[in-house]
Amino acid sequence: METSGLIRTLLHSIVYSQPLEERGEVARGGTGSIRRAQEHPLGRQVALKQLLESCEAEPVLVRNFLREAQVTAQLDHPHIVPVHQVGLRDGKPFFTMSLVEGQSLSRWLRTAILIDYDTVVDFAEILIKVSDALAYAHSRSVIHCDLKPANIMIGAFGQVYLMDWGGAEVLEAPPENGGAPVAVTVAPLPTQMTEGRLFGTPSYIAPERARGERGDVRSDVFSLGAIMYEFVEGKPPFRGADTRETLIQAGRCDCRPPNEGAHGSHVPPDYYRILRRAMAARPAERYQTMLEMRADLGRLVRGGGSLPRRTYQRGTTVIQEGEVGDAAYVVASGQLEVTRQEHGIEVVLRTLGPGDVFGEMSLLTNARRTASVVALQDSTLVTITEDLFRRELEAMQPWMASLVRTLARLFLEQERS
């Protein structure tokens, strides 16, 4: 075969092959269906999203569908699914994006029935990735407007993607840090078609947007806080008998405060502090940027999620009365017993379980251990080393570090008296 013939054969096998071959539906939402498809020219699997036939006569829904493709394509971020192409198939609008193999955060929450410290850290790490995506979008003057667990996808290998930018709003304010603005070239609709329409999910919506007011980046902060609320309460903050009642609840920020004792010591107090600030009724009392909230979520994770762990077998002495301590411990699982020698007799002081902390006084005061701790059953402990503890103290304001040390000495003196 001639060289030119070989070249034509090669080109035909790629360039002129069938562009997309559908492989079956994988999900369906209110306005679109998502199908697995084979993109033959490049040999890759993609997700093909196509507008539902029932929505084709609604100009607002068609425009939102096209806006979703256009806005998402311009948000180039690791936690936002890349859009590859947009067009018409059999006269119906579609766009393709990277195929995410995994599950929605909604499904993940349903499986996270047992909340322990590890689950909290896993969830916080998911939220950090979502907040990264949002912070980037906000820097491009885009707010998502419909944050909810169903719009967050978790890949099979730890990927996290924030989906469904169809209701996103492009703010008039210029992008932060001099970034390029997101351009929306989809033709606008007559005002009477969009006036009074509210985009978002009432159960997670910020109060100002539920009242029909203009939102900003702090509205996304609120909705991310609402997702945190669902994690510990098992349901979203606003749940009326119908959409109207739910929106009234949201507009008043009328929800029951989270029960901070429901999960014992498994959920750190800082988790609830972040949740309360994110879900403040007044935007001025929330985190003012997504980066601020992301920083607090990062500190929550660093507070113990990545600390070393060790399992002690039943009967093992973890710390010995009288020795110089160089670590404190948090009980992740198991049961331990605290004892002390009094006049030659071993006295049981208390029993420790998951979430309890011991050994911290020696780190604070450089004093010898005042009691022994023995594992009553196989127990896993999170270890807080002296070096880590000192670094955390140094990171505090000087007056706070001094106050912590002073209080520790006072408690130790009171315990010895």
What is the edge-to-edge ordering of all strands in the sheet holding 345-352?
Answer: 317-319, 372-375, 336-342, 345-352
Residues 6 or more apart whose CB falls under 8 angstroms from that of 183 comprise 70, 74
With vertex at residue 39, the alpha carbon angle to CA 36 and CA 45, rounded to the nearest 5 degrees, is 45
State the DSSP code for 368. B
Bridge partners (DSSP) of residue 358 are: 329
What sign results for the dihedral spanned by CA atoms 174, 177, 182, 183?
positive
Q: Is 242 an active-site residue?
A: no
State the DSSP code for 312. E
Q: Which residues of 322-361 are buried (b: 16+ CB within 10 A; e: fewer)?
A: eeebebbbbbbbbbbebbeeeeeeeeeeeebebbbebbbb
Catalytic entry in 122, 132, 146, 378:
146
The closest of 100, 97, 113 to 154, measured between CA atoms, is 100
Q: Which residues are catalytic?
A: 146
